[in-house]
Structure 1
């Protein structure tokens, strides 16, 4: 009995060891298999004719994403194992132009045309009669209004003028009061906003000048630069000539490129054109990133007390 029991335990131990070994193997594959990326750019002098081919793959091509830009048309396809998302071929316009035939107007008979002309003449006669009657009515009304205006006594006109003057005076006084009240309200609102801004400014300055928050910011900065160093391409080769219609834009872009030129300038030749708008040349980029690198940076940030405390303060911070 003991021999059989030990044999069963031995088999269970072997199965557990195999399962743990497979789990460790999967973890090692996920962490130490790199994410490879590459990109090829080609320009022939015009920015609209730029062609770009980029590819990102992981786990020996089990997960892959391909991007293409040709003739102003983009294509993006993603494959996860055996499932594909997006179009695998570049987008093409396969629709053909179709000409729609306009329906021909039907020919009318001579009798129908005569009937239409007679109907139009009758309508014109009726409209002319109606307009003549309307003009006569308006003239009669105008004559009656003139007669009534002449017969009005002068006393009623004076009373109406006095009433109008009183209304105008009261309206002007009410308008002045409304304007003064609006000015007072805007002044008080402006003062309240200034006080709120000063209070928010004091809170922000206290939050940013805290030592723990400063240490957390420095930690994030160092980890971000470390991750960018690991993410930078391993191989860059190419020759590029660029330029804009405005020479100032060319100078600004050249200033931005000069910041990263120490990392890309060893195998690249970049020449600005300050007179013409152009984008020509070839550029090839190759690089990779191990998954363990962002995982380690995330663990470092989580273990940092300053980062955790500043994260809690940011969640609870209210202006």
Structure 2
């Protein structure tokens, strides 16, 4: 029994060791196997839009690669995994699915057409039955109309008698209403003058309340502006003291140093090519040449620039660049920045400010 348990434990430990080894291998590949990139652009004679370009990003010794190509004003992309075109396989799979769905739809339409013919026959039979039932209903309705006509005649006679009785009633109610209206019209002059005075006082009070509310609103707005200005002043003083602190300055210089190093690491290691250009205005050609001269520290004068002062729009040339990016460079910079005491001080002070 113990021998069997030892074998099971040994088997589990072997599997865990293999998984840990694979995980360690993956981490080492991410850190020390570089991501390589390559880009090229070509412009021949023709319009300004007729530019052809190509870019390739690969990893794991070209085992994983992504290629993008710009040609005839169209972008084409392809993804390869150890030489297998994954995007083409996915497209073929989608086509197969669409074809299978189309065949299913055609079969469903044929079934629906067959069921439609059957339904049309049943509808014809039902329409005949409905016509027969409608004829029977018409006969029954005609018999009922005769009975209803006699009932309506008796109701009309009763209504005429009630109208005659109403006409002979006395007009006492109308007289009472006239007397009430006459009494309401007679009002004393004192009540009218009191109402006018009350309306004036109400109107004056309303105007006074409006003016008072306007002044109150202006006062509150001025108080709010004063508070906001005070807050802005306090924020500016805090930012000034925060940025001028020596530990903050040290943290800022450290971040800028590593950022420059990372940018230098990302930039292409090799650039070559030649470009010939010109504009209709020679002054524009001169300014473009001055701007391109500022890029010499990046490509180290490996791109030959040939300006032409012919007085026409012209562009022709080719450029090729390639480089590599290592993962451990980013990891090293992140660890140095994270464990720096000045960076921790900045983070702590920022948290206390937000709290």
Shared fold, TM over 0.5? yes
How far has the Cα of 1:36 moved from its partner?
0.5
> In structure 1, what is the Cα distance between the partners aligned to 2:276 and 2:334?
39
- Note the 1:65-144 alignment, pairs <5 A: 65-78=66-79, 84=86
How far has the Cα of 1:312 moved from its partner?
4.5
TM-score (norm 2): 0.51
Task: Kindly provide the CA deviation profile for residues 183-237 of structure 1, in whole angstroms up to 9, marking residues without a partner as x.
Answer: 9998877766655544443232222212222111111111111112222212211
> In structure 1, what is the Cα distance between the partners aligned to 2:214 and 2:280?
52
Match of 2:67, SS state, is strand
> In structure 1, what is the Cα distance between the partners aligned to 2:78 and 2:340?
39
Distance 1:46 1:206, change over 3 A: farther
> In structure 2, what is the Cα distance between the partners aligned to 1:182 and 1:188?
10
Indicate conservation of the 8 Å contact 1:76/1:87, yes or no: no
Which residue of 267, 285, 289 maps to 2:325?
A: 289
Higher alpha-carbon Rg: 2
Match of 2:36, SS state, is strand
Task: Kindly provide the CA deviation profile for residues 59-88 of structure 1, in whole angstroms up to 9, marking residues without a partner as x.
Answer: 233433222222332334455676846999
Indicate conservation of the 8 Å contact 2:78/2:85, yes or no: no
Gaps of at least 5 residues in structure 1 are 90-176
How far has the Cα of 1:37 moved from its partner?
0.2
> In structure 2, what is the Cα distance between the partners aligned to 1:315 and 1:303?
17
Distance 1:49 1:195, change over 3 A: farther
Indicate conservation of the 8 Å contact 1:234/1:286, yes or no: yes
State which drifts further: 285-294 or 190-199: 190-199
Which residue of 321, 344, 348 maps to 1:308?
A: 344
Pick the structure with more helix per residue. 2
> What count of residue pairs does the alignment treat as equivalent?
237
How far has the Cα of 1:18 moved from its partner?
4.4
Distance 1:73 1:83, change over 3 A: closer
How far has the Cα of 1:269 moved from its partner?
0.6
Which residue of 245, 253, 263 maps to 1:228?
A: 263
- Note the 1:258-297 alignment, pairs <5 A: 258-272=293-307, 275-297=311-333
Distance 1:14 1:262, change over 3 A: same
Indicate conservation of the 8 Å contact 1:77/1:88, yes or no: no
In the other structure, the counterpart of 2:65 is 64
